[in-house]
Amino acid sequence: MIAPATGKVSQVVIFGLGGQGILFVTKLLAEAAVVEGTAVIVSETHGMSQRGGAVESHVKLGGFEGPLVRRGKADVTVAVDAIRAGDAKAFLRPGGRCFVNAAAAEGAQALDAVAIARELDAPRAANIAMLGFASAAMPDCFPRRESILAALERISPPKAIESNRRAFLKGAERA
């Protein structure tokens, strides 16, 4: 059993396109928070999430009441697709940090998560690499690494557990 986190309060918004696993990452963060005993609220907005439409997930850790993070209030934003980087930056609070899946990104920390996923022969794991990257760079805003890995083992499809684990750790190494 993992000891509960104390005083963890943060607002994270994850952006991407349908089919990129944004909703999976949201579920993963919620599961990890529950493992730690941290209150969590999630909200998802998705247009055509199966067909490349815009997808956005709000994750609030700590004692929040409303489910949505307002523009200019997020501690962390993650753009799993670089096309959503502008949206991600618009949600940041002053001093917040944006993480973008790209070789380079102005005003954000960039990680080529697609290259990592390819390197690991896990083409659908770019989302998990981005989570590893952001959570290692901003550990106070996310559940602990061991909590995320435990949740990953519980909710990943059996065939994807090891590749997801490797993608998460490889993303974390790059932080």
Hey, what are 175's tokens? 């932080």
What's the domain count of the chain?
Answer: 1
Look at residue 13 and give its three-state secondary structure: strand
Query: 5, 14, 91, 20: which is closest to 52 by C-alpha?
Result: 20
pLDDT greater than 50 at residue 128:
yes
In this structure, what is the dihedral angle of CA atoms 4, 22, 81, 41, given to the nearest 10 degrees? -50
pLDDT greater than 60 at residue 144:
yes
Question: Which residues, 6 or more positions from 9, have their beta carbon under 8 angstroms from its beta carbon?
Answer: 61, 62, 63, 64
Q: What is the pLDDT of residues 44-101, one digit of tens each?
A: 987 655 567 899 999 999 989 899 999 999 999 999 999 999 999 999 999 999 999 9
9/139 Cα distance (integer angstroms):
11
**Cβ atoms of 100 and 108 closer than 8 Å:** yes
The verdict on residue 5 lying in a domain is no
Domain membership of residue 15 as a residue range? 10-173
Q: What is the CATH number of the domain that holds 94?
A: 3.40.920.10
Quick one: pLDDT band at residue 4, thresholds 50, 70, 90?
very low
Mean pLDDT of 32-54: 84
Hey, what are 29's tokens? 């963060």
Mean pLDDT of 111-139: 98
The verdict on residue 3 lying in a domain is no
The verdict on residue 46 lying in a domain is yes
The verdict on residue 2 lying in a domain is no
Distances (CA, A) of 53 to 37, 83, 86, 109, 113: 33, 11, 16, 24, 20
The verdict on residue 4 lying in a domain is no
